[in-house]
Amino acid sequence: MVDSGDLFFNPRSATQDPDAARVRADVIARAYARMGAAAVNIGEIDLLGGVDFLNKLGRHGIPLVSANVRHASDDRHVFDRYLVTEEAGVRIAIVGVCQPHLYHTTPTAFRERIRLSDPMEAVKEVVEELRPRADVIILLSDLGIHADLRIAKLTSGIDFILGGHQGRYERWPRRENGTFVTQSYQKGMYVGRLRMTIEDPSAPFKNAGEAREIQYKIDAIDRRLRVAERAKRTRPSPSVSAALDKLLGEKAKLQQHMGTVRAATATGNRFEWFLDGVHRTVPEDREMAAWIKTAGIVKD
């Protein structure tokens, strides 16, 4: 379980009621620790709490990562640039990167303590260092989808970029230079789930989830076909017949492509990306509910 950044604070509450904002952030940190978070990337809004407070949150047991947040005094990294974990014999590296500027309401005193280095250069440096040490490299990014795609285009060796900051609904991952890029929407409304099957750690990944994307397009064509077929029965015309034939041709091409994708992703390194909606029907953890109640958080 990982988070791409901007997890702990709401910009408005962080400036209007900083004490309450810190209580809320503490609840979130303990909840993430309870759920076994493997890594949390530091986003620009997280920095509203200050380095000392973020390190305090980290002591709850959540690893904080950032490759480009540095101390202004000596240029040391404030947080771990990355972490490497091993699952079923596969070495997975998780890197974090933040916006290259501080949020506009960040206190002046804090601004003088840190600097944010260029995220592109920071990522390139870390990925180069990690290549001999990791089988899978995952970047947690707080840069936004367009910057993520640019990093993927200019940096080889990243397998997945799990992005944030914009909170876009990315139903299907995008691909750039062998890197798959996606986001999980905003406010915890969806959980992004990445399921990997790894047969050869040195080989690239194939998107087995593309079959679901193709089926989604086929289902959309089927809906249009039903409309066209009704139109052909009620008001037949050459244009309606032509539209129906075109849709049938598009469906046939997609079905052929579906067979190709399924055959290509039946073996080798492959993955599927899912967006799971979070519903009120999911039972609450009693201890977490008690933390939230104690903190006085009624709604967020």
Least confident of 23-37, 105-119, 121-135, 256-270: 105-119
Q: Is residue 145 part of a domain?
A: yes
Q: Is residue 205 part of a domain?
A: no
Q: Is residue 300 part of a domain?
A: no
- Average pLDDT for 45-72: 93
State CA 164 to chain mean position distance.
Answer: 6
Q: Is residue 248 part of a domain?
A: yes
pLDDT over threshold 50, residue 300: no
Q: Are residues 29 and 162 in the same domain?
A: yes
Q: Is residue 24 part of a domain?
A: yes
Q: Which pLDDT does position 19 carry in this prediction? A: 86
Q: Are residues 37 and 180 in the same domain?
A: yes
Q: Is residue 11 part of a domain?
A: yes
Q: Are residues 33 and 145 in the same domain?
A: yes
Q: What is the mean pLDDT of the chain?
A: 90
Count Cβ atoms within 10 A of the Cβ of residue 20 and give its class: 0-12 exposed, 13-18 middle, 19 or more buried.
middle
Q: Which pLDDT does position 276 carry in this prediction? A: 85
Q: Is residue 204 part of a domain?
A: no
- pLDDT tens digits, 115-165: 999 999 999 999 999 999 999 999 999 999 999 999 999 999 999 999 988
Of the candidates 140, 144, 145, the one whose C-alpha atom is nearest the C-alpha of residue 162 is: 140
- Average pLDDT for 179-194: 88
Domain that includes residue 241, residue range: 210-264
- The Cα 12–Cα 24 span in angstroms is 13
Residue owning tokens 């916006």:
99
Q: Are residues 161 and 64 in the same domain?
A: yes
Amino acid at 140: L
Q: Are residues 154 and 182 in the same domain?
A: yes
CB count in 10 Å sphere of residue 32 = 21
Helical segments of 104-237, H only: 108-111, 119-130, 145-154, 210-234
Q: Are residues 34 and 148 in the same domain?
A: yes
Query: Is there a contact between 135 and 91 (Cβ–Cβ < 8 Å)?
Result: yes
pLDDT over threshold 90, residue 204: yes
Give the confidence band of 171 by pLDDT, cuts at 50, 70, 90: confident
Which residues, 6+ apart, have CB-to-CB distance to 36 below 8 Å? 1
Q: Are residues 250 and 173 in the same domain?
A: no
pLDDT over threshold 70, residue 299: no
- The Cα 232–Cα 241 span in angstroms is 7
Q: Is residue 70 part of a domain?
A: yes
Amino acid at 263: A
Q: Are residues 220 and 141 in the same domain?
A: no
Q: Are residues 56 and 128 in the same domain?
A: yes
Q: Which pLDDT does position 166 carry in this prediction? A: 81
Give the confidence band of 290 by pLDDT, cuts at 50, 70, 90: confident
Q: Are residues 164 and 218 in the same domain?
A: no
Q: Are residues 40 and 94 in the same domain?
A: yes
- The Cα 208–Cα 17 span in angstroms is 46
Q: Write down how long the chain is.
A: 300
Helical segments of 42-139, H only: 51-58, 108-111, 119-130
119-130 and 145-154 helices cross at what angle (nearest 10)? 50
Q: Which pLDDT does position 197 carry in this prediction? A: 95
In DSSP terms, 162 is beta-bridged to 140, 182
18-34 and 51-58 helices cross at what angle (nearest 10)? 30
Query: Is there a contact between 19 and 9 (Cβ–Cβ < 8 Å)?
Result: no
Q: Are residues 42 and 178 in the same domain?
A: yes
State CA 99 to chain mean position distance.
Answer: 15
Count the domains in the chain: 2
- pLDDT tens digits, 84-114: 999 889 999 999 999 998 887 777 777 888 8
Query: Is there a contact between 206 and 270 (Cβ–Cβ < 8 Å)?
Result: yes
In DSSP terms, 83 is beta-bridged to 94
Q: Two tokens at 245?
A: 């034939």
- The Cα 249–Cα 260 span in angstroms is 17
Which CATH number goes with the domain that contains 194? Answer: 3.60.21.10
Q: Which pLDDT does position 298 carry in this prediction? A: 63
Residue owning tokens 């999911």:
282
